[in-house]
Amino acid sequence: MSRNLHLFSLTLIDTLDTLVVLNKTKEFEEAVKKVITDVNLDNDIVVSVFETNIRVLGGLLGGHSVAIMLKEKGEYMQWYNGELLHMAKELGYKLLPAFNTTSGLPYPRVNLKFGVRHPEARTGTETDTCTACAGTLILEFAALSRFTGTSIFEEYARKALDFIWEKRQRSSNLVGVTINIHTGDWVRKDSGVGAGIDSYYEYLLKAYVLLGDDSFLERFNTHYDAIMRYISQPPLLLDVHIHKPMLNARTWMDSLLAFFPGLQVLKGDIRPAIETHEMLYQVIKKHNFLPEAFTTDFRVHWAQHPLRPEFAESTYFLYKATGDPYYLEVGKTLIENLNKYARVPCGFAAMKDVRTGSHEDRMDSFFLAEMFKYLYLLFADKEDMIFDIEDYIFTTEAHLLPLWLSTTNQTISKKNTTTEYTELDDSNFDWTCPNTQILFPNDPMFAQSIREPLKNVVDKSCPRGISRAEESLGSGPKPPLRARDFMASNPEHLEILKKMGVSLIHLKDGRVQLVQHAVQAASSLDAEDGLRFMQEMIELSSQQQKEQQLPPRAVQIVSHPFFGRVVLTAGPAQFGMDLSKHKAGTRGFVATIKPYNGCSEITNPEAVKEKIALMQRGQCMFAEKARNIQKAGAIGGIVIDDNEGSSSDTAPLFQMAGDGKNTDDITIPMLFLFNKEGNIILDAIREYEAVEVLLSDKAKDRDLEMENMDQKLTENDSHKQNAEEAASGSQDVGAASEEPEEGGESSDVADPGSLSPANADSASVPISHQDSYVPGTEEAGAPEPACTSGDNQPQEQQTETESNSKVNWDNKVTPMESILADWNEDIEAFEMMEKDEL
């Protein structure tokens, strides 16, 4: 564990109260001692005010809350004297400099040692913050004030909330995503219930519950009325513009909105909570996890899944409200998917891509702080708990704050400073907490009747592949040359284009770009023909791209000692075996071919026969490589990028195109790996020689049978070695002391970028030469359709054919020893943590 906050000690602090929920009281006591002795808050480190508040300050306060509860029970924590609270107060003072603005909204970042304005602070130049970042402080700061009797924390958090309320858009009663901390102007004027705003709404309602201040409830109800009026489009929750709330701001939803059904349960508005939750569950059933973002027709928009707990949170609250065992089945599905797809030797790994099952090397602290907590509580009976969970309220990080704080150290006046409330329909508040009505009067099938119409909402929304290009080409005036008939090598076609004011530009990569300038057309009628031709070409190019796009594939190392744990995201090919139609995939040992570029007859066919051939990109077409290895007897092929350092982490998905000829003769599967992922396989070959991989459309379950067999063989070898050593009569006696390497975690929040439309003074469209290149989108967050038949789920892609690429084979790669050493260190650290700390 980290010994200072420079390495943040985030997971240890963030999971303190989770241990008590799980009835791990001895482990909790030891963990608290480690926090007290090892964590130093006075460090020169720039941290997010929002994340530090909800995870570290909230973790310390949650730990203090359950520590004093255990002490009162008389068995554990008898030595505890408020040490966590003292640390929380120290941290609170270190966050206060961030509030040094005219508005009262905090800077998004603060240096724990030097504050904000200090020359060495390396922060304080920011002008914007997100609404949730400034509006998700009141629970922790007010609890800190109530616990300590120091009112300044609650005062600062209230001032920030007051400012956001005053700056709401008065006609719609909505707030934007980001705001200028100095002027109060809205920077991003879209509004929703997901990323950037989510916990602002959550904290208004929960501040009323914890602090008993009616003004927070009135504000929440005003916002909630606007949300249900404009953003809620059952079962969807779509962002809108705050000034034009009838106009949708985007056509996709982010996964953070999954918390909202749980908040609706707390408010008592059950029907829309059930509807939205069911829609989200259908998306999860299709992809195993909730993608980071998905479109209104349930295609994948952002494919990552960092093991977010918001859906589990809503599942727990819906079960508490309804008692419907259906939600236990939902929880069971979540647990099974986590164990099946995310479990790795040292914990649970975030999903890099929900479509392929590839992993990221990270497990955020909120997974232990929230996901474990909500899933355990979902299935726990009252007798499983050592305290009454109903005596506490959950923060947005699921930390526990006692409800008795509402009557303790009330140093803040409850005078209602909220003004200009909108007159709302009284029925909007019928179910508001505290709720005195029965949610489901004599009708146990109520929740099921709401879910039933949504059972197939995802499948029904999948597009049927209607060609807009065909529709647009089916009527209206036709230009003298149709886009689908155009050939760049036809002189007559080029002459017609010139007459229509359309010129050709030959790009360096072999593509041809068309540009129209109406003033260069022979006549106004020709200019109109040129415009229609360009419109056709744009539609046709877009349609061809969609038709040729393929989803990412997976290369899974299944041999010892990997057993399927290593999954590499691979680019597909537009030729050869379609892995989506061969669910079993192609499994075999890998072999490096000679020549390595695969552009001529293979000279080592005996090494390649019945194996999966490895080759380097460059020198010839991909299809030519495939034909050469297929002729040598290979059962599949992997092309490794020759661009040193390229990685699927940073580059858009690469798709291998054909050579402009008929490729039906190629029957083996071909996949593309970027340089970083390819080197992982090459390293494995150097270390183990015999490396077996599985080429498939998505990752398969780990080979548990082989893994267990290998473990038994390893144990037998170990016993045999020990017996031999004992028999040798060795008298060497040694002592070893081993400590886990110090490490830590940091957290950051990045705002998605926005895409600005290009200035369209003239029409321009790149077209493919012999269908060998399909242009991909450039926006990092471009939509990634993921709901077509056969599970074809295209995403942002590059599609290229090979031309004279330089061969640049470099053996300077990370050795496999270091990879396994990292694994062993992780396993040792995990075992040490499990034994000594948790």
- Binding-site members are 396
- For residue 615, give Cα distances in angstroms to 28, 232, 563, 593: 53, 52, 23, 6
CB 273, CB 265: distance < 8 Å: yes
The residues pairing with 567 across neighbouring beta strands, listed in sequence order, are 556
Least Cα distance to 410 among 68, 93, 151, 89 occurs for: 151
Rounded Cα gap, residues 360 and 306, in angstroms: 8
Backbone angles phi, psi at 88, to 5 degrees: -65, -40
Rounded Cα gap, residues 533 and 545, in angstroms: 18
What torsion, rounded to 10 degrees, do the Cα atoms 656, 662, 663, 665 define?
-170
Rounded Cα gap, residues 469 and 671, in angstroms: 30
- 64 membership: H or E segment, kind and range: helix 58-73
CB 268, CB 260: distance < 8 Å: no
What torsion, rounded to 10 degrees, do the Cα atoms 406, 411, 414, 419 define?
-120
Rounded Cα gap, residues 168 and 522, in angstroms: 55
- Tell me the binding residues for Ca(2+): 396
Triad 570, 800, 637: Cα angle to 5°? 40
Rounded Cα gap, residues 54 and 366, in angstroms: 10
Residue 196, CB half-sphere, CA atoms under 13 Å: how many?
22
- 260 membership: H or E segment, kind and range: helix 260-267
Cis bond upstream, residue 783 (ω within 30) = no
Least Cα distance to 617 among 670, 576, 662, 666 occurs for: 670
Backbone angles phi, psi at 506, to 5 degrees: -90, 120
Task: Provide the residue type at 400 as one letter.
Answer: L
CB 181, CB 126: distance < 8 Å: yes
Active-site positions read 51, 198, 292, 310
Rounded Cα gap, residues 64 and 330, in angstroms: 32
For 321-343, letters b (16+ CB in 10 Å) and e give bbebebbeebbeebeebbeebbe
Cis bond upstream, residue 595 (ω within 30) = yes
- Sorted by sequence, the CB contacts under 8 Å of residue 244 that are 6+ apart come out as none
Cis bond upstream, residue 561 (ω within 30) = yes
Q: CB atoms < 10 A from the CB of 594, how many?
A: 16
Chain-centre distance for alpha carbon 298: 16
Rounded Cα gap, residues 583 and 341, in angstroms: 17
- For residue 657, give Cα distances in angstroms to 160, 188, 774, 778: 55, 40, 9, 19
Q: Which runs of consecutive H residues, i.e. helices, occur in 74-121?
A: 83-95
Rounded Cα gap, residues 61 and 54, in angstroms: 10
Chain-centre distance for alpha carbon 581: 28
Rounded Cα gap, residues 132 and 108, in angstroms: 11
Rounded Cα gap, residues 198 and 438, in angstroms: 28
Q: CB atoms < 10 A from the CB of 834, how many?
A: 10
